[in-house]
Amino acid sequence: MCWNYPLLMGAWKVAPALAAGCTAILKPSELASVTCLELADVCREVGLPPGVLNILTGFGTEAGAPLASHPHVDKVAFTGSSATGSKIMASAAQMIKPVSMELGGKSPIIVFEDVDLDKAAEWTLFGCFWTNGQICSATSRLLVHVGVYFVSGGQAFFVKTIIVSTNLQFSGQLYEKVLEFIATAKSEGATILSGGDRPKHLTTGFFVEPTIITDVTTSMQIWREEVFGPVLCVKTFGTEDEAIELANDTHYGLGAAVISNDLERCDRVTKAFRAGIVWINCSQPCFCQAPWGGIKRSGFGRELGEWGLENYLSVKQVTQYITDEPWGWYQSPAKL
């Protein structure tokens, strides 16, 4: 399971599993296991019977992989990278075991020309830089109408309207990965409009400036792959159809957002998005009553609400014969 929301993601799975009458084994990320162990202590304090919830810590190869292939594990629910999700699916397939997957994303946010730019800026920056970009649903591809896009004084569009704080990355490995994405974008011809490195006033720590990248083409790595860091790539569009085509130009399908004062247009775009979660005039709000999940390489299945409970239920058909008369299957059709 992922490390960026270890307790929340654990609760999203454990709560419906227990409510459905299942026992559960929770395998947290080896990078963030403590909160899930604390959850186990809470469950013990409130009287959950021994063995109903089990926390298994360890590395994926040692702990996670055996769970996915174990014959006594009836179902696997996973949140994490698409690469790891693919491996889990392959392992579970050997046992014809059901799985549900909430995986990566490269979500678009479309900003049309009829909006208040300050509000659009707030939602765009929040959608990408909230939680330091370390969230699978981050709207990290900004598609902005050419009518409100401009570059002036080293700033693009509405970027100058908001100051974003320095972003701390989770680990040294992720820090290096984010910087590598930025370097690759630059080498491929993109422009690092702002950010792109550790802040000059810091000499240590895994800090990355909020980074905005322009002059992006659809063939670039920064357009196609999930960064999982504070990096926003920007591309312009001229028509609604072009915006939709660019938004759907991704292997992922977790989230998507549209910012426009034309609600009929928002409705059209919402229906055209190939994504499991869509925001209108906002980005990232999440409600426990609403289904959460994606399509394509962002996974399948839904968490939260009644849909989350269904992940841990199986329909059984029961037929009762209520007459004393023989079934008479051996009689000819004429006699029946």
Query: Which residues are annotated as catalytic?
Result: 102
- Tell me the sheet residues that pair with 53: 24
**What percent of the chain is helix, strand and coil (3-state, nearest 5)?**
35, 20, 45
Q: What are phi and psi of 168, to 5 degrees?
A: -95, 125
Whether 30 contacts 58, CB under 8 Å: yes
Alpha-carbon separation of residue 47 from 50, 63, 174, 206 (angstroms) = 9, 26, 39, 41
DSSP structure string for 11-75: HHHHHHHHHTT--EEE---TTS-HHHHHHHHHHHHTTPPTTSEEE--S-IIIIIHHHHH-TT---
Q: How many whole angstroms separate alpha carbon 193 and alpha carbon 45?
A: 52
For helices 240-247 and 263-272, what crossing angle results, to 10°? 40
Which distant-in-sequence residues (6+ apart) come within 8 Å of 126 by Cβ?
283, 284
- Residue 82 corresponds to which amino acid? S
Bridge partners of 156, per DSSP, are 151
DSSP 270-301: HHH--SSEEEESSS----TTS-B--SGGGEE-
